[in-house]
């Protein structure tokens, strides 16, 4: 993620020119590891608007970029229900793929997408926030024994819902949406990096508001139905023995709880928001009354959305695994689906079978 090591830039087609593409382009435009060559979107006007900002990029169809000789990487920024199909098509066409989270929405996606990847067509998946100094510094603190043996963790995200700000929010509340599939990957990926893979889950979910109302934009005031649970809570037992509770909700005003806390036999740490790359890690040791701010000890400094693509480019060039590991993304998807299956069975414990290898810590370095 520091200086470029690729022989030539990855020739990249952006698939999906929605809101999140703005953040990726802001990070990647002009970086030597990436050269944008095409933009694909169902809305031709939106594709053209983005392509106009990327010198040398053309508007294209998905079938065209899959057949094109000048496309190395698909940057899959579509809505969650389309992630798996586009990633699958890209890998089968021999392209590298970086996908926004979640990896997919079904159990089959968690199994076959990583299996389709290979040395010549690599797969990586957001969230790439795990590369930043916030989570990596927390990871270093846990690994170096500052809190002793990890015992438990709590992760909380509470919001009134995306319809307050999103002009077309319906997909957040239909199949492929809901809190755990939308925001859960940030928190679950962080917990897997901090405490290791999940072994079993118990889940519960509720849907207190069957109808939502759009708050902004040209459709403000329009109502739409809710098809998924919008408040989801999970109890996770990690393979290493620690337990975590996770609550992700679109049904609250807010919370004072830290995004993530990790408790161990000798101390506790407060972990910054895993939806961001940086933030202060706070430590309180056994016997102390005060919390201490830890300096950045690991992670990519000034990382932002798209840093995972830069890391993937370097990983392809050097032959190492990417930090935004598809095995972790598949494990997180399997965990989310297990939580939802448990919720449908009155909280019955469900086993999570996959056991991904957590990538090595990111050294403290410029992104």
For residues 136-150, give the mean pLDDT: 98
pLDDT, residue 175, reads: 87
Rounded-to-integer distance, Cα 58 and Cα 105, Å: 30
pLDDT exceeds cutoff 70 at 2: no
pLDDT, residue 1, reads: 58
pLDDT, residue 366, reads: 87
Strand residues in 187-323 grouped as ranges (E) = 198-206, 211-213, 223-225, 231-238, 243-249, 260-264, 267-271, 281-285, 292-294, 300-301
Rounded-to-integer distance, Cα 154 and Cα 1, Å: 30
For residues 334-361, give the mean pLDDT: 97
Helices assigned H by DSSP within the chain: 19-28, 44-52, 62-67, 80-92, 107-116, 133-143, 179-182, 184-195, 307-318, 326-344
> How many beta carbons lie within 10 A of that of residue 256, not counting itself?
6
Question: According to CATH, where is 3.30.360.10 located in the chain?
Answer: 130-303+331-351
pLDDT, residue 59, reads: 98
Rounded-to-integer distance, Cα 286 and Cα 261, Å: 15
| Structure confidence at residue 55 as a pLDDT band (50, 70, 90) | very high
pLDDT, residue 7, reads: 60
| Structure confidence at residue 4 as a pLDDT band (50, 70, 90) | very low
| Structure confidence at residue 138 as a pLDDT band (50, 70, 90) | very high
CATH architecture of 130-303+331-351: 2-Layer Sandwich (3.30)
pTM above 0.75? yes
Rounded-to-integer distance, Cα 60 and Cα 39, Å: 6
pLDDT digits (tens, 9 = 90+) for 249-287: 999 999 999 999 999 999 999 999 999 999 999 999 999
- Helices 326-344/184-195 angle, 10° precision: 110
Which of the 8 DSSP states describes residue 351?
E
Q: Which superfamily is assigned to 10-129 in CATH? A: NAD(P)-binding Rossmann-like Domain (3.40.50.720)
For residues 112-126, give the mean pLDDT: 95
178 vs 3: which has the higher pLDDT:
178
Torsional class of 266: left (φ above 0), alpha (ψ -120 to 50), beta (otherwise): alpha
Cβ contact 239:247 at 8 Å: no
Cβ contact 249:179 at 8 Å: yes
With pLDDT > 90 as the criterion, what percentage of the chain qualifies?
96
For residues 193-205, give the mean pLDDT: 98
| Structure confidence at residue 108 as a pLDDT band (50, 70, 90) | very high
230 phi, psi to nearest 5 deg? -115, 0
pLDDT exceeds cutoff 80 at 3: no
3-state secondary structure of 1: coil
Question: Sheet containing 260-264: which strands, arranged edge to edge?
Answer: 292-294, 281-285, 267-271, 260-264, 150-158, 243-249, 231-238, 198-206, 350-351
């Amino acid at each position: 993620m520091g200086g470029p090591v690729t022989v030539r830039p990855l020739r990249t087609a952006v698939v999906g020119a929605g809101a999140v593409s703005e953040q990726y382009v802001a990070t990647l435009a002009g970086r030597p590891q990436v050269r944008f060559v095409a933009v694909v979107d169902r809305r031709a006007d939106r594709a053209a608007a983005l392509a106009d900002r990327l010198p040398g990029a053309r508007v294209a169809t998905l079938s065209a970029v899959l057949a094109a000789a000048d496309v190395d990487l698909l940057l899959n920024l579509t809505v969650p229900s389309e992630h798996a199909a586009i990633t699958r098509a890209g890998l089968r066409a021999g392209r590298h793929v970086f996908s926004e989270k979640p990896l997919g929405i079904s159990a089959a996606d968690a199994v076959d997408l990583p299996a389709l990847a290979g040395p010549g067509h690599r797969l990586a998946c957001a969230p790439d926030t795990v590369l930043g100094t916030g989570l990596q510094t927390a990871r270093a603190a846990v690994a170096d024994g500052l809190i002793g043996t990890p015992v438990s963790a709590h992760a909380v995200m509470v919001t009134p819902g995306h319809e307050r700000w999103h002009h077309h929010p319906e997909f957040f509340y239909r199949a492929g949406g809901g809190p755990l599939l939308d925001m859960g990957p940030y928190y679950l990926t962080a917990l897997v990096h901090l405490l290791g893979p999940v072994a079993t889950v118990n889940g519960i979910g509720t849907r207190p508001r069957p109808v939502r109302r759009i708050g902004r934009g040209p459709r403000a005031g329009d109502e739409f139905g809710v098809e998924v649970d919008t408040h989801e809570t999970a109890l996770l037992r990690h393979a290493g023995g620690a337990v975590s509770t996770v609550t992700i909700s679109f049904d609250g005003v807010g919370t004072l709880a830290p995004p993530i806390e990790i408790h161990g036999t000798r101390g506790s740490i407060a972990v910054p928001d895993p939806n961001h790359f940086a933030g202060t890690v706070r430590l309180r040791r056994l016997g102390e009354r005060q919390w201490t701010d830890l300096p950045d000890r690991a992670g990519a400094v000034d990382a932002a959305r798209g840093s995972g693509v830069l890391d993937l480019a370097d990983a392809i060039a050097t032959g190492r695994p990417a930090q935004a590991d598809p095995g972790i993304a598949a494990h997180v998807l399997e965990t989310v689906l297990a939580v939802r299956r448990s919720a449908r069975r009155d909280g019955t414990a469900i086993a999570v079978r996959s056991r991904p290898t957590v990538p090595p810590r990111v050294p403290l370095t410029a992104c």
